[in-house]
Structure 1
Amino acid sequence: MWSTAREVAAGDTVIIWLTRDLVQPLVIAPGKDFNTRYGNFKHSDFVGVPYGSKVVPKSGKGFIHILKPTPELWTIALPHRTQILYLADIALITSYLGIRKGSKVIEAGTGSASFSHSVARTVGSAGHLWSYEFHEARFAKAKEEFARHGMEDVVTIQHRNVCKDGFTVVDEVDSVFLDLPAPWDAVEHAKKALRKDCTTRICCFSPCMEQVLRTVSALNEAGFAEITMYETLLRPIEVFQIPQLPDVSVISEKLKHSEAKREEKRIRQIAANKQGKGKRKRDETGEEGAWDAGNEHAFNSKRAKTDKEDQDFIVSMDVMENSSSTVNAVGPSPSNETGNATLVPPPSKINIAKALTEVRGHTSYLTFARLIPIAVAPTESVALREATELEGVKGTITDNSVSTAGTTMSSTIESGS
């Protein structure tokens, strides 16, 4: 399946990863160009590049990744010819049908071959996939893809109407997958293709509930058991980071510090207001010009004392503010005496998960059922051996009866004589 080399070679099918939502396949053909929004790339520049490499154009703006194809990447990048199965449905179908290495599987409705590539990888060279497609153009395109991807030994594709003509294998496959507009018409043909010596499984892929109801009726009439239906829906989750929320104690300390600063500011405003009132009073007294020497000396002494006290108060408030700012800048230091102080951890981030508002909706309904084998009638040789053993037992019983009767008769004759 595809190339197993570590480096890209001419003729290889590769996956070009442009963005998360823009992935496309490319067949390497030296001499051709590959144009993208990031610039022009020559196919010859890809030859010899290890898979998974980031390739930058000559313009130096932007880049692309060149990847090795896998069934998962092929499902995302393949050219759509019909509605395809995506990874969620493929995984569920593979699990419930019990497809594994060495399994033999029938697929009716090849379409864009999304499911075919996944099954081919799962069964490997020890298993086989028979794929049937009614549409001739889609059949030819799928056959070409299988040949180019190196899957011819694992996949056999045929252009055939299985609802009318049935399948080309009988009593051979382990599971059947029907992706048809009318799968109920192919249920009896699928039963003929399934093995009868073990439990086998079938899955029908139908987008409408009316199709499911008719398919379930056909499965019941054909003798299938354990009929169940599933619908696979994805719910993408967006993950991002936000700063870690602060502890309550940290917030409380900040509030206390803010209240202390507000109180200090209020005290300074009161002191400044008192100083302003005293100055205005002195100015008014000086305009009257009635000062005596004693009163003037006493007033000057009192004013000097008051000014000194106010100045000392303002200086002490400034010192307290500066010391508080210094402590907050440095941060709390652990106490060696108590041993209960905690260091403030560096700020970190926490992961948040949020479901996307817009998600992909309904694809199709998956109807599963099992075909349980019935008791097998004994072969002719076994029946003959059982009959011979039974005849031998009957002969032994008859001989014993005859000998017993003879002994009784002899005893009677002797008694009579």
Structure 2
Amino acid sequence: MLALDTSKKLSFSKLIASGDLVIVYERHETMKAVKVCEGSVFQNRFGMFKHSHWIGLPFGSKVYSNKSGYVYLLAPSPELWTLVLSHRTQILYIADISFVIMYLEIVPGCLVLESGTGSGSLTTSLVRAVAPTGHVHTFDFHEQRAASAREDFERTGVSSMVTVGVRDIQGKGFPDELCGLADAVFLDLPQPWLVIVSAAKMLKPDATLCSFSPCIEQVQRSCEALRTNFTDIRTFEVLLRTYEVREVKINSMRGQGGSPCQQPPCKRRHTNEGSDKQESVSSAIMARPSAEARGHTGYLTFARLRCSA
């Protein structure tokens, strides 16, 4: 689990117990979150796996099915949770999340405000960044979405360090009781410029704000609003290029002396009977760009609260 309470550090060293959430890993694009229950089974294309065989094993264990297939049981880190969570809204992925945490200067002990919660992908990573003594207040105007996020935070064990509120931040702003307490504010809203004044009141002196927007027109209006109370305004677009690393087979023809011979260009190669050439197969590790690389996700605009003279 990510964390049990605010007094414990985030650790995956403990053994798997009944009631724990594990990430069942087949390969990097095939994973599933499963709650371990005594007497339950997990089935996939590799066969049937009994949960009772998982209990007592350390996270990261390789376990076998009744058909000798295998999977890995991984701890639900924020990175893995981002890949398996239910998408109630469009989510932020690892490249944007890591950039946000770095530029917002979020460290253990920080108090962070977020709007809106959405699927909770970023929220889970924010909680790990502020743990074990910090706290995240996240808000969403949609009551059912907020309730689902609370359930997910319970499942991943971070609920003690995050408070989920139902509030129309664009219309009402952030709650007054948080005024001047926030080390960072993150906005993922259709009209973030409507919240800039409220966000400025929430932040400590010299603290930072980030706004995520998919369209450049939203960025332009947000930057105009930020100029009143903020400085050091910057906008970034984070593009990630993923490479696939795999083993490939290489065929070659060799003559009597062992030197490689050029293969015919056609797919089906023919050799004359009695030829002294032999075909050999070798393997090599190759890397190439993924055919389904993720492109534009959105623009990240950062700004620092201007200190009064």
- Shorter-chain TM-score range: 0.7 to 0.9
8 Å contact from structure 2 (residues 200, 229) kept in 1: no
- With the length of structure 1 as denominator, give the TM-score of the two structures: 0.61
Secondary structure at 1:95's aligned position in 2?
A: helix
Q: Does 1:88 align with 2:22?
A: no
Residue among 296, 303, 306 paired with 1:369:
303
Distance in 1 (alpha carbons) for counterparts of 2:147 and 2:40: 25
Secondary structure at 2:195's aligned position in 1?
A: helix
Provide the residue aligned with 1:191 in structure 2.
200
Distance in 1 (alpha carbons) for counterparts of 2:37 and 2:291: 42
8 Å contact from structure 1 (residues 176, 202) kept in 2: yes
Secondary structure at 1:66's aligned position in 2?
A: strand
Distance in 2 (alpha carbons) for counterparts of 1:45 and 1:238: 33
User: How do 1:15-414 and structure 2 match up within 5 A?
Assistant: 15-60=23-68, 62-168=69-175, 169-195=178-204, 198-220=205-227, 222-239=228-245, 353-375=287-309
| Structure number having the greater strand percentage | 2
Return the letter of the residue paired with 1:193.
M
Secondary structure at 1:153's aligned position in 2?
A: helix
Measure how far apart 1:115 and its partner are: 0.7
Distance in 2 (alpha carbons) for counterparts of 1:199 and 1:231: 24
Partner deviation per Cα, 1:74-119 (whole Å, 9 max, x = no partner): 1111121111111100111111111111111111111111111111
Distance in 2 (alpha carbons) for counterparts of 1:26 and 1:126: 28
8 Å contact from structure 2 (residues 140, 165) kept in 1: yes
Can you give the 5+ residue segments of structure 2 that lack an aligned partner in the other structure? Answer: 5-10, 250-256, 260-281
8 Å contact from structure 2 (residues 76, 156) kept in 1: no
8 Å contact from structure 1 (residues 125, 153) kept in 2: no
| Structure number having the greater helix percentage | 1
Q: Which stretch of the first structure deviates more once superposed, 145-154 or 98-107?
A: 145-154
Measure how far apart 1:236 and its partner are: 1.8
8 Å contact from structure 2 (residues 91, 121) kept in 1: yes
Distance in 2 (alpha carbons) for counterparts of 1:201 and 1:74: 26
8 Å contact from structure 1 (residues 11, 29) kept in 2: yes
Partner deviation per Cα, 1:24-72 (whole Å, 9 max, x = no partner): 1111122332221111223222212221111111122x21111111111
- With the length of structure 2 as denominator, give the TM-score of the two structures: 0.81
Distance in 2 (alpha carbons) for counterparts of 1:358 and 1:190: 37
Distance in 2 (alpha carbons) for counterparts of 1:193 and 1:177: 12
Secondary structure at 2:117's aligned position in 1?
A: coil
8 Å contact from structure 1 (residues 171, 194) kept in 2: yes
Return the letter of the residue paired with 2:35.
V
Secondary structure at 1:130's aligned position in 2?
A: strand
Distance in 1 (alpha carbons) for counterparts of 2:199 and 2:159: 23
Partner deviation per Cα, 1:177-220 (whole Å, 9 max, x = no partner): 0011111111111111111xx31111111111121122112212
Specify whether residues 369 and 351 from structure 1 end up closer, same or farther in structure 2 by C-alpha distance, changes over 3 A only: same
Distance in 2 (alpha carbons) for counterparts of 1:226 and 1:141: 36
Specify whether residues 349 and 63 from structure 1 end up closer, same or farther in structure 2 by C-alpha distance, changes over 3 A only: closer
Distance in 2 (alpha carbons) for counterparts of 1:19 and 1:353: 17
Superposition RMSD in Å? 2.4
Secondary structure at 1:235's aligned position in 2?
A: coil
Aligned length: 271
Distance in 1 (alpha carbons) for counterparts of 2:149 and 2:103: 25
